[in-house]
Amino acid sequence: MRIFSGIQPTGRKHLGNYLGAIRQYVEGQERGEGIYCVVDLHAITVAYDVVELRARVLDTTAMLLAAGLDPARCTLFRQSDVREHTELCWLLASVTAHGDLNRMTQFKEKSARQRELISAGLFLYPVLQAADILAYQTDEVPVGDDQRQHIELTRDIAQRFNERFGETFKVPVHRIPEVGARIMDLQDPTQKMSTTAGSEAGLVFVTDEPGAIVQKLRSAVTDSGGEVVCGPDKPGITNLIEILAVVRSSKVDEVEASFAGGGYGDFKQAVADELVEYLGPVRERYVELRGDERALEGVLAEGADRARAIAAATLATVRERMGVGAT
């Protein structure tokens, strides 16, 4: 079982990234061969700071290691170190329908937020993502719910390629967690927690100090009524119940039952306290690991060597099937 996923080097990672994706990466190490990639080439499709980008890659690498990724048991690398990703992106672009890319909701949302340039790279983002995944003959892609449409497109691209050029790619499936796949913004629980669209108060960062976590949870927007139960008319409380269910590794109805008869105030304090306990060790390990940049670069370099060997073999087959390059 080969598991692949990518994560953007966009500064501090938030609770949505952690509960929706990162925790699944760590668990993936136990179930199969995990290959994880810090996708700096995706990050340059929107406005970014050139000097900061390298630092952000190391931030994200340290975060993944702090969360429990073990370079002895998985492959962790920087996307731009394995040039096969960009070549495969171009080759796959020729079997990707322009109309399909036009339908991608992430492109619509992100292009609407761009002030200066809507880059062609942003439009091609899902094709590069498909290349990332398909280069490794991936079985399973752990992601949050917001990536569902992109993984569907990856499957379509693989199928279309296989039909036209012969069986070449494994057609992967997504792995979206039952609970925690869409953590919502604490200040606007109708919107997903998001790096680029959210406000500081609406996001819990994995590296937040305990005081900040408590403050953010206490001021989280809740709903009318006072009962700690999920419901379509209670997006704020539903979000907090889901967060606590993941943190406790329990079921949503067990969390509801444990607060039966209790009010919102006590419940929010409990979520805050348990979240502080849950994230504390990750934050401490992060600070330790982030200090040693040589070690982080070493992990990425070793990972890139391993990843390149797999991706290069896929590329050789793809080039041969497509009639590209010398025989």
Contact 159, 316 (CB under 8 A): no
What is the residue-wise DSSP string for 33-52? EEEEEE-HHHHTTS---HHH
Alpha carbon distance 309, 295 (integer Å): 22
Residue nearer to ligand AQP on the CB measure, 10 or 187: 10
The stretch near ligand AQP (CB under 6 A) out of 80-88, 139-147, 248-256, 288-296 is 139-147
- Reduced to 3 DSSP states, what percent helix, strand and coil does the chain have, rounded to the nearest 5? 60, 10, 35
Least distance in angstroms from the C-beta of 285 to ligand AQP? 19
The DSSP symbol for 251 reads -
Residue with tokens 């979000």: 239
Query: Taking CB under 6 A as the criterion, which residues in 236-265 touch ligand AQP?
Result: none
Least distance in angstroms from the C-beta of 8 to ligand AQP? 3
Q: Does 16 bind ligand AQP (CB under 6 A)?
A: yes
Query: Taking CB under 6 A as the criterion, which residues in 181-220 touch ligand AQP?
Result: 181-183, 192-197
Alpha carbon distance 217, 72 (integer Å): 36
Contact 150, 129 (CB under 8 A): yes
Q: Does 10 bind ligand AQP (CB under 6 A)?
A: yes
Q: According to CB under 6 A, which one of 8, 96, 129, 154 is a site residue for ligand AQP?
A: 8
Bridge partners for 31 per DSSP:
none
Contacts with 86 (C-beta within 8 Å, 6 or more apart), sequence order? 41, 128, 131
Alpha carbon distance 55, 81 (integer Å): 15
Q: According to CB under 6 A, which one of 3, 4, 7, 276 is a site residue for ligand AQP?
A: 7
Least distance in angstroms from the C-beta of 20 to ligand AQP? 2
Residue nearer to ligand AQP on the CB measure, 183 or 318: 183
The stretch near ligand AQP (CB under 6 A) out of 10-18, 29-37, 63-71, 214-222 is 10-18
Q: Does 17 bind ligand AQP (CB under 6 A)?
A: yes
Residue with tokens 């691209």: 157
The stretch near ligand AQP (CB under 6 A) out of 13-21, 79-87, 93-101, 115-123 is 13-21
Contact 106, 136 (CB under 8 A): no
Q: According to CB under 6 A, which one of 146, 155, 158, 304 is a site residue for ligand AQP?
A: 146
Contact 237, 230 (CB under 8 A): yes
Q: According to CB under 6 A, which one of 4, 20, 174, 300 is a site residue for ligand AQP?
A: 20
Least distance in angstroms from the C-beta of 110 to ligand AQP? 7
Alpha carbon distance 182, 189 (integer Å): 10
Q: Where are the alpha helices (DSSP H) in 94-234?
A: 98-102, 105-113, 120-134, 148-165, 210-218
Distance of CA 309 to the CA centre of its chain: 24
The stretch near ligand AQP (CB under 6 A) out of 9-17, 50-58, 278-286, 289-297 is 9-17
Q: Does 21 bind ligand AQP (CB under 6 A)?
A: yes
Q: Does 144 bind ligand AQP (CB under 6 A)?
A: yes
Least distance in angstroms from the C-beta of 111 to ligand AQP? 12
Binding site for ligand AQP (CB under 6 A): 7-8, 10, 16-17, 20-21, 143-144, 146-147, 181-183, 192-197
